Amino acid sequence: MAEPGSDVLAAQLAAELRHWRRAAHELTDLDMVAAPQAWAGLESYLGTGVRAGLTRSAQAVATRADQLAAQLPGATAQDDLARLRDRVLALRQSYVRAETVIDFFGDAVGTRTNPRLAELLRGLDLLAVDAMDRILGPLGIPVPPVLVYLDKGLGASILRAGIRLWDASSSPAAAIKITRHNLLRPTSLIHEGGHQVAHLTNWTDELATALHEVLAPASPIAAEAWRGWASEVAADVVAFILTGYAPVPALADVVDGTTATVYRMPPGDPHPMGLLRVAFNAALCRYWYGAGAWDDLVRIWLYRHPVHAAPPESALVARATLPLLPEIVRVCTERPMRAFGGRPLSALVDPRRVAPAELRRLADGAGAALYTSSYLQRLEPMRILAWTVLRSQRPDDNADRDLETWLRRLGADHATAAA
């Protein structure tokens, strides 16, 4: 077959470049990735920040495509065309990476097309910001914007603000996934915000060292396991400090399963095995609040999943850990940490304020105003959330209805104030 001439190669390359250039410019129209009414479901500062970040990603690819188009007429020799083709292939890769970023945030924003869901998610955005501010604020660390989105599955997740994305840009917001089954039991939101807090304060590495120190004399294997679990432990502790026992039943539902499942300990997994994670969260409550429903939860779990039925390595870690849970709790909540300015986390946020008895005292004192008072909405959102989620554990309670009404009002009132 005869070798194609330069004019044929140039024409083919021009057609390829036209395609990717057109696609890159189309990518700058963000209303094509999420409907305008979905963008309108964001707080103005959040929408502006997210759109600005995504627009920069798209425009960077479009500008690169324009520059290549300007170089095409001067490429006549086959060597020049070959070099330009390499750049077009690199442009295609840049497009795919930028498209991945834009589609991720577009899908997240797109969950707000439904007006009811948009109001709920806007309220959750504000709760997540408030949760982080209660720890970051006293430390003088700015709280990043938060975009909460709805998705399927069992567990929540976070794409941290500032993290390097697929196209090497920085994430314009902390994107927190809330699962459909826990939309009206959204304490996982606080756990995910805890990941952002631990990242911004550099707490995780410090906590990992402290956990290893506590467990090493009892079991080097357990010490290594807990060192690897420090990031998830930190997020669980933040959720406890801010909302008490409220997250624990939801957590237990998510990590539950067969005995083999709750004792799984895959290499590199940052999550503690399910049995120890539930036991640790219950130990947080027992340490700070004394006896309570958390003790029954652990008894049930150990009855369903006895340690002797665990795989050998998991059983070794569990047996070494269970007696040391009070000391692990002490390290996590009462040991002074550089991350918190030389103070323990409990000095920044007192977990006793979200003890069940304190939450009931708040609810009894507020009465019907608990969900309608703008003052309480500003001052006590974490405690209102915790109390309402605890209420949802009871049969025949209207907690879900009250929580939805309150979250929608929270988002609507803030949007009105901003306007």
Query: pLDDT tens digit string along 217-226?
Result: 999 999 999 9
Cβ contacts of residue 226 below 8 Å, gap of 6+? 208, 211, 212, 214, 215, 233, 272, 321, 328
Per-residue pLDDT at 197 exceeds 90: yes
Q: How many CB atoms lie within 10 A of CB 413?
A: 15
Return the pLDDT at 337: 98
Residue 394 pLDDT? 86
At CB < 8 A and 24+ separation, what contacts does 77-82 make?
77/6, 78/6, 78/9, 81/6, 81/9, 81/10, 81/13
d(CA 135, CA 128): 12
Reported as a pLDDT band with limits 50, 70 and 90, residue 9 is confident
Looking at residue 73, what is its pLDDT?
83
Query: DSSP readout, 183-222?
Result: TTSTTHHHHHHHHHHHHHHTHHHHHHHHHHHHHTTT-HHH
* Closest CA relative to residue 251, chosen from 281, 222, 221, 231: 281
pLDDT at 160: 95
pTM: 0.93
Does the structure show a pLDDT above 70 at 1?
A: no
What pLDDT, in 10s, does the model give residues 129-186? Answer: 999 999 999 999 999 999 999 999 999 999 999 999 999 999 999 999 999 999 999 9
State residue 200's pLDDT score: 98
Strand partners, 177: 149, 157
Q: Is the pLDDT of residue 188 over 80?
A: yes
Q: What is the pLDDT of residue 199?
A: 97
Q: Report whether pLDDT(419) > 80.
A: no
Reading the block at residue 381, the tokens are 């959102």
What is d(CA 2, CA 399) in angstroms, rounded to the nearest whole number?
Answer: 76
Mean pLDDT of 341-367: 98
Tens digits of residue pLDDT in 14-61: 899 999 999 999 999 999 999 999 998 888 888 899 999 999 999 999
Alpha-carbon span 290 to 351, nearest angstrom: 13
The per-residue pLDDT for 4 is 75
Residue 119 φ/ψ, nearest 5 degrees: -65, -40
Reported as a pLDDT band with limits 50, 70 and 90, residue 376 is: very high
Residue with tokens 């309402």: 388
Q: Residues 55, 102: contact at Cβ < 8 Å?
A: no
CA distance linking residue 31 with residue 345, whole number of Å: 43
Rounded CA-CA distance 327/321 in Å is 10
Predicted local confidence at residue 54, as pLDDT: 94
Bridge partners (DSSP) of residue 176 are: 148, 158
Q: pLDDT category, 412, cuts 50, 70, 90?
A: confident
Structure-token pair, residue 171: 């994430």
Q: What is the pLDDT of residues 63-92, one digit of tens each?
A: 999 999 998 887 777 877 888 889 999 999
Highest mean pLDDT of the ranges 250-254, 397-401, 409-413: 250-254
SS (H, E, C) 322-372: HHHHHHHHHHHHHCCEHHHCCECHHHHCCHHHHCHHHHHHHHHHHHHHHHC
Task: Name the residue with higher pLDDT: 40 or 196.
Answer: 196
pLDDT bucket at 361, cuts 50 / 70 / 90: very high
Residue 418 confidence (pLDDT) above 80: no
Q: Taking residues 357-385, what's their average pLDDT? A: 96
